[in-house]
Amino acid sequence: MTLRSFTATACAVGLTLAIAAPAAVAQDWEAASVVNARGGLRGAIAPSTAWEDVQPGTRVKAGDTLKTAGGASAELVFPTGARLALGENTILRLQDLEGLSGRVMAGRVRVTAPPEGLTTLVAGSLRLVGTDAEAVVERAGGAWRVAVLAGTFRITEAGKAPASVDAGRSAIFAGGEPRYSVISRAAWQDLTAGFGAEGGAAVAGAPAAAATNANKWVAAGLSALLPGAGQLYAGEVGRGLLYMGCEFALLGTGFYGVFYGQKQMALYAGAGLIGLNLISPLDAVLTTSLTPAPLAGLAPDFPSRSTPALIP
């Protein structure tokens, strides 16, 4: 081999590697890994169009479709650090992994945006953008529901002005103007269920403080009138009944002491009533901050477990 032919061959090999390496990196960048698969996870992974079992570690890319059976869940980890979890009875067709696009979707998914950069989820006519945030997106009953578990998501519906939804609140998009509500404790438990043992930081804790000052003062005022009433307003039935039970017990003890000449008993009961009437409003404020009270007149939560798949 002459020096000229060797040089030409080396240049050709180098050029081929230079072109192939970025393509391989780009292809890897656009692939997501399946982790924490639990139960029956099936997928149509290109080039195949048939449903087959999907195991943890499988790489999925744009054009692939995943679906979970009842009691099953899975989580996708993207190169950006974003995570997308599929709840049970959910179907999702990936169209653009860079934007976490799932335009064909039924059921419930949870998107977790890392602290660095923007994470965008496109679901049907909705576009969610967030950083260091977490939300559950649900398609059921012909409507989209977005519940923000942590941080803030900026949500844009096709042809409409964007809106920001903070942690502890949800929005329902069913045509017309979106309907907003505070996430109740029951809804919170339902939203964080069905994704398997692995979950984001928001799932392990209580809902972020989302109640307004008016809600807090209403709870405080109710508990000032009757200890425990503010806790009942905040949805804490057990705490409210406990405060009310103590109130009536102390009142009964005080009346007994007054009518039967037990002055010391009456004094102790009076001191207890004063302390209870000071503590209960403060506790009601804290309880309302940790557990947003459901707003009256709002649409009920959409079920997800009975949602039929869009793709057979």
Residue 130's SS3 state is strand
Mean pLDDT of the chain: 74
Q: 300: pLDDT confidence band, cut at 50, 70 and 90?
A: very low
Q: For 252-265, what is each residue's pLDDT tens digit?
A: 999 998 999 898 99
DSSP state at residue 97: G
In one-letter notation, the amino acid at residue 74 is A
Query: What percent of the chain is predicted at pLDDT more than 70?
Result: 72
Residue 247's SS3 state is helix
Rounded distance, CA 285 to CA 221, Å?
10
What are the strands, taking DSSP E only, across the chain?
32-38, 41-44, 52-53, 59-60, 65-68, 73-77, 83-86, 91-93, 104-113, 119-123, 126-130, 133-140, 143-150, 152-157, 163-166, 169-173, 179-182
Helix 263-290 vs helix 213-225: crossing angle, to nearest 10:
160
Query: What's the CA angle centered on 88, arms 131 and 136, to 5 degrees?
Result: 25
Q: What is the pLDDT of residue 220?
A: 87
Distances (CA, A) of 170 to 127, 140, 151: 15, 15, 12
Q: What is the pLDDT of residue 96?
A: 61
Q: What is the pLDDT of residue 198?
A: 43
Q: What is the pLDDT of residue 278?
A: 92
Dihedral of the alpha carbons of 121, 148, 54, 116, in degrees to the nearest 10: 60
* Phi and psi at residue 125, to the nearest 5°: -90, 5
Q: For 109-149, what is each residue's pLDDT tens digit?
A: 899 999 988 888 888 788 889 999 999 998 877 788 899 99
> Do the strands 179-182 and 169-173 form a parallel or antiparallel pair, or are they unpaired?
antiparallel
Q: Determine the distance from the C-alpha atom of residue 290 to the mean position of all C-alpha atoms in its chain, rounded to a whole number.
A: 16
Residue 96's SS3 state is strand
Q: Which two tokens stand for residue 69?
A: 């059976």
Q: Is it the case that residue 276 has pLDDT exceeding 60?
A: yes
Q: Is it the case that residue 249 has pLDDT exceeding 90?
A: yes
Q: For 182-239, what is each residue's pLDDT tens digit?
A: 888 777 877 777 776 544 433 333 333 333 334 678 888 898 999 999 878 877 778 8
289 contact partners, CB below 8 Å, separation of at least 6: 209, 211, 216
27 burial level (CB within 10 Å; 0-12, 13-18, 19+):
exposed
Asked if residue 47 has a cis previous peptide bond (ω within 30° of 0), the answer is yes
Q: Which of 57, 110, 58, 65 is nearest to 87 (CA)?
A: 110
* pTM for this prediction: 0.55
Q: How large is the average pLDDT for residues 290-312?
A: 31
Q: What is the pLDDT of residue 203?
A: 34
Beta bridge partners of 157: 126
Q: How large is the average pLDDT for residues 98-112?
A: 72
